[in-house]
């Protein structure tokens, strides 16, 4: 019965607020990762993007105006990670706040000595537990520059990571996935990349990945969708784990 109700709601949402063909073609043109998909997967992504726009509030700030085509593009990026997982994986939160450019969240941070500092880090995106996703529109438009960059996928990966608690690089794995193998693969890749970084080598992934296990998962997810051939070449075990988790084969 639940599946019937859900399917009815899906059909109603698609019928009430369909993505017009010109807007969808524009999104595919501006989102190479979606453009690489086969026709069947593109159709599924279109449905998910429709549901995303129906269920999430896109909230531009600081005078930013998002056209309908911009909203469809953002939803298309956002739904890439759940193409084979479904909208249920994005339950529990409702808004995407969009800044015109990189932003500086001002919040207190307490150091080890108990001293309170004000953070001034410039950010392209942020994800809060059961709260909003925040992204810089300039960074959305610069997806793929440099290769592998996708701020929306990055923040959505954090959202998936936080489904079973704090972001720690360990999202809820599927039943047939091996938790020990996931830990071994990501820990081994982390240690190797850290060593390469200490030796001054150019890394095959954005060095920001080495800020924490959570960032490693999010950055690797970006590259999985945006530059899968590079990820598979340099971090094949990580690629295979993400292939199992996202249930996709983008290469």
Domains of the chain, by residue range, sit at: 2-246
The stretch 86-112 carries a mean pLDDT of 82
Q: What is the pLDDT of residue 18?
A: 86
* Mean per-residue pLDDT, 190-217: 95
The 10s digit of each residue's pLDDT in 105-130 is 765 555 455 444 445 577 788 898 88
What does the pLDDT read at residue 123? 79
Confidence of residue 200 (pLDDT cuts 50, 70, 90): very high
Is residue 6's pLDDT more than 80?
no
- Alpha carbon of 44 to those of 86, 101, 213: distances in Å? 10, 30, 31
The pLDDT tens digits for 123-169 are: 788 898 888 999 999 999 999 998 999 999 999 999 999 999 889 99
Is 2-246 in CATH node 1.20.1730.10? Answer: no
Write down the pLDDT at residue 105.
Answer: 72
User: pLDDT value at position 5?
Assistant: 44
- What secondary structure, in 3-state letters, does the chain show? CHHHHHHHHHHHHHHHCCCCHHHHHHHHHHCHHHHCCCHHHHHHHHHHHHHHHHHCEEEECCCCCCCHHHHHHHHHHHHCCCCCCCHHHHCCCCEEEEECCCECCCCEEECCCCCEEECCCCECEEECCCCCEEEEHHHHHCCCCCCCCCHHHHHHHHHHHHHHCCCCCCCCCCCCCCHHHHHHHHHHHHHHHHHHHHCCCCCCCCHHHHHCHHHHHHHHHHHHHHCHHHHHHHCHHHHHHHHHHHCCCCC
């Amino acid at each position: 019965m639940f599946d019937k109700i859900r399917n009815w709601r899906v059909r109603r949402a698609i019928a009430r607020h369909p993505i017009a063909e010109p807007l969808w073609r524009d999104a595919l043109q501006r989102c190479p990762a979606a453009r690489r998909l086969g026709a069947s997967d593109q159709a599924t992504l279109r449905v998910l993007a429709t549901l995303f726009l129906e269920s999430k509030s896109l909230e531009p700030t600081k005078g930013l105006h998002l056209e309908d085509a911009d909203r469809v593009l953002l939803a298309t990026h956002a739904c890439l990670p759940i193409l084979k997982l479904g909208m249920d994986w994005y339950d529990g939160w409702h808004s995407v706040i969009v800044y015109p450019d990189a932003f500086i969240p001002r919040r207190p941070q307490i150091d080890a000595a108990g001293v309170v500092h004000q953070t001034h880090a410039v950010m392209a995106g942020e994800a809060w537990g059961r709260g909003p996703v925040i992204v810089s529109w300039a960074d959305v438009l610069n997806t793929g520059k440099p290769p592998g960059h996708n701020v929306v996928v990055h923040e959505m990966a954090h959202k998936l990571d936080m489904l079973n608690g704090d972001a720690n690089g360990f999202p809820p794995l599927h039943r047939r996935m091996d938790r020990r193998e996931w830990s071994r693969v990501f820990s081994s890749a982390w240690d190797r990349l850290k060593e390469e970084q200490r030796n001054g080598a150019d890394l095959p992934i954005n060095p920001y990945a080495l800020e924490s296990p959570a960032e490693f998962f999010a950055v690797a997810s970006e590259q999985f969708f945006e530059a899968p051939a590079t990820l598979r070449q340099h971090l094949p075990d990580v690629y295979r784990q993400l292939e199992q988790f996202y249930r996709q084969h983008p290469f």
